[in-house]
């Protein structure tokens, strides 16, 4: 197909392009439409596929035929226009409310309004300064992992004293659902006051209850659904049958062998050290990427991300998340129940993530433009090779015809920007686990 595209510089994220399709392609599309209609329908007096144009015009209507031909032509031309402009549209291309129909023996010209990401600026294009954990395992990290291993041997014993439940306790309860808490219902249910997957209000209600006490725990959540405000009430009758506290055994030379298979505590710590460092080799590179991208996103001068772009990123994240759940044979309802969260809270959190992701993407685009980064055909070819595509050239050609190559180039360009950030970032090595443990100890003392 032969097309010509002229355009003006985008303003406020809107690009206006004039698309012209050669009359030979117009004639071919009209002829193809007539043939398809002749094969699709049975016209009395004619074999299927043999009905002449005047008969089709008389029954189907000339305008309907041209409308089908126009749609067919545009579905083929639009990806080529997107490829020629090398853009990634946000949402659907707008051709107006009542676009003109094609005419045989004439070029077809139509105006297209395309929403694209706006050009943005950063208040600094310098590589950011970030903190990173050391590559070697620290004593604090080893301590943390050893404590985690020992915690697996934790048991829960009934408390004898007459006191209310407090943080760290495990409660044995009978729960009767009243409203929206069916996942907690049942006899002899165990609830930890440290379990953040439980509703915070439910944990607050359990806190302070004594053995043998019974009460109703309820709260109301205000939210928005389909643009309208609504309230959801959560309520359950809870009876505490027992309060148990955690008993974690002390790690000794005697039990390190029976419980963990090492002759000495030092051998256990050395094994943990090797495991931590092996884990860091795989996780630290990604952590560094995440932190430099997060840091550069903070330099975006634009306060708000365009709603259309944020919505597009939101839909992408939602589809990715739902695909992950499906691969795990888990429904969204099951996930929400396991996390103790509401649909409104889940959507709000996802929208916050989408807005942050959108800001970071715009920042990377601005950095790439500032650095003058470019994407070559070799870069595109290598990207498809890394994806283990059987026939790289055929796949690239398919992507080009479908208008999907600009998105590939965009991804490559952002990767180059991230690589530049990773290579040039000013890194300060910080034992973050030690700092966090020290802060927790201070909080505990207070």
| Tens-digit pLDDT profile for residues 39-78 | 999 888 898 889 999 999 999 999 999 999 999 999 999 9
Q: Is 372 within a domain? A: yes
Looking only at the bridges linking them, the beta strands covering 3-7 and 14-21 are antiparallel
Domain check: are 305 and 387 in the same one? Answer: yes
Q: Is 122 within a domain? A: no
Number of independent structural domains in the chain: 3
What is the CATH classification number for the domain harbouring 351? Answer: 1.10.3120.10
User: Tens of pLDDT along 137-160?
Assistant: 999 999 999 999 998 888 889 998
Q: How many whole angstroms from its chain centre is CA 63? A: 44
pTM: 0.79
- Rounded Cα distance, 61 and 66, in Å: 9
78: part of which helix (H) or strand (E)?
helix 62-85
User: Tens of pLDDT along 311-362?
Assistant: 999 999 999 999 999 988 888 888 887 776 788 889 999 999 999 999 999 9
Domain check: are 291 and 404 in the same one? Answer: yes
Domain of 160 in residue numbering reads as: 155-247
Q: Is 391 within a domain? A: yes
What is the CATH classification number for the domain harbouring 214? Answer: 3.10.50.40
What is the CATH classification number for the domain harbouring 104? Answer: 3.30.70.1050
Mean residue pLDDT of the chain comes to 92
Domain check: are 421 and 348 in the same one? Answer: yes
Looking only at the bridges linking them, the beta strands covering 214-225 and 228-247 are antiparallel
Domain check: are 103 and 185 in the same one? Answer: no
CB 426 within 8 A of CB 288: no
Output DSSP code: residue 46: S
Task: Enumerate the H helices of 298-376 as residue ranges.
Answer: 307-327, 332-339, 343-371
Domain check: are 78 and 188 in the same one? Answer: no
Residue that is last in its domain, among 219, 247, 275: 247
Q: Is 128 within a domain? A: no
pLDDT at 79 over 70: yes
Domain check: are 74 and 161 in the same one? Answer: no
CB 156 within 8 A of CB 135: no
Q: How many whole angstroms from its chain centre is CA 29? A: 40
Domain check: are 355 and 283 in the same one? Answer: yes
Q: How many whole angstroms from its chain centre is CA 28? A: 42
Domain check: are 289 and 237 in the same one? Answer: no
The span from the first CA to the last CA of the chain, in angstroms, equals 74
CB 366 within 8 A of CB 297: no
Predicted local confidence at residue 413, as pLDDT: 97
Q: Is 345 within a domain? A: yes
User: Tens of pLDDT along 148-198?
Assistant: 999 888 888 999 888 999 988 999 999 999 998 998 999 999 999 988 888
Output DSSP code: residue 264: S
- Rounded Cα distance, 53 and 51, in Å: 7
CB 396 within 8 A of CB 336: no
Domain check: are 60 and 103 in the same one? Answer: yes
Domain check: are 167 and 237 in the same one? Answer: yes
Residue that is last in its domain, among 86, 115, 144: 115
Angle, CA of 97, 98 and 100, to the nearest 5°:
140
Q: Is 132 within a domain? A: no
Q: Is 390 within a domain? A: yes
Domain check: are 225 and 310 in the same one? Answer: no
User: Tens of pLDDT along 242-281?
Assistant: 999 988 888 988 889 888 889 999 999 999 999 999 999 9
Domain check: are 202 and 289 in the same one? Answer: no
Scan for tokens 């256990």, then name that residue.
Answer: 268
Residue that is last in its domain, among 214, 247, 280: 247
User: Mean pLDDT throughout 360-383?
Assistant: 96
Q: Is 254 within a domain? A: no
């Amino acid at each position: 197909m032969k097309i010509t595209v002229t355009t003006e510089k985008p303003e406020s994220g809107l690009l206006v392009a004039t698309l012209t399709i050669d009359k030979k392609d117009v004639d071919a599309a009209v002829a193809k439409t007539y043939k398809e209609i002749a094969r699709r329908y049975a016209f009395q007096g004619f074999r299927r596929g043999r009905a002449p144009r005047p008969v089709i015009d008389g029954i189907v209507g000339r305008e309907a035929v041209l409308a089908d031909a126009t749609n067919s032509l545009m579905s083929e031309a639009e990806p080529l226009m997107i490829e020629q402009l090398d853009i990634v549209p946000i949402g659907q291309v707008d051709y107006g409310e009542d676009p003109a129909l094609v005419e045989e023996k004439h070029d077809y010209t139509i105006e297209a309004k395309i929403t694209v990401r706006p050009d943005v600026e950063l208040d600094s294009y310098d590589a950011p300064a970030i903190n990173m954990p050391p590559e070697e395992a620290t004593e604090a990290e080893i301590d943390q992992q050893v404590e985690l291993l020992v915690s697996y041997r934790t048991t829960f014993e009934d408390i004898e004293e007459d006191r209310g439940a407090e943080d760290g306790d495990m409660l044995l309860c009978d729960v009767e659902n009243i409203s929206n808490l069916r996942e907690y219902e049942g006899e002899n249910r165990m609830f930890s006051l440290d379990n953040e997957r439980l509703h915070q209000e439910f944990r607050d209600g359990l806190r302070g209850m004594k053995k043998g006490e019974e009460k109703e725990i309820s709260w109301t959540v205000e939210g928005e659904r389909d643009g309208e405000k609504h309230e959801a009430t959560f309520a359950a009758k809870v009876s505490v049958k027992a309060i148990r506290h955690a008993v974690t055994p002390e790690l000794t030379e005697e039990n390190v062998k029976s419980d963990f298979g090492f002759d000495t505590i030092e051998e256990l710590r050395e094994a943990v050290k090797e495991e931590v460092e092996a884990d860091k080799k795989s996780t630290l590179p990604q952590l560094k990427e995440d932190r430099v991208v997060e840091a550069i996103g903070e330099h975006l001068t634009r306060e708000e991300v365009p709603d259309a772009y944020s919505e597009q990123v939101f839909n992408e994240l939602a589809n990715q998340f739902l695909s992950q759940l499906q691969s795990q044979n888990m429904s969204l309802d099951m996930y929400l129940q396991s996390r103790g969260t509401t649909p409104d809270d889940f959507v709000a959190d996802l929208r916050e993530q989408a807005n942050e992701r959108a800001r970071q993407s715009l920042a990377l685009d601005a950095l790439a433009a500032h650095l003058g980064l470019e994407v070559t055909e070799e870069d595109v070819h290598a990207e498809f090779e890394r994806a283990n595509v059987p026939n790289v050239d055929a796949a690239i050609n398919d992507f080009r015809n479908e208008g999907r190559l600009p998105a590939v180039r965009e991804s490559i360009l952002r990767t180059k920007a991230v690589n530049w950030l990773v290579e040039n970032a000013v890194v300060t090595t910080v034992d973050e686990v030690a700092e966090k443990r020290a802060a927790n100890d201070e909080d505990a003392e207070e």
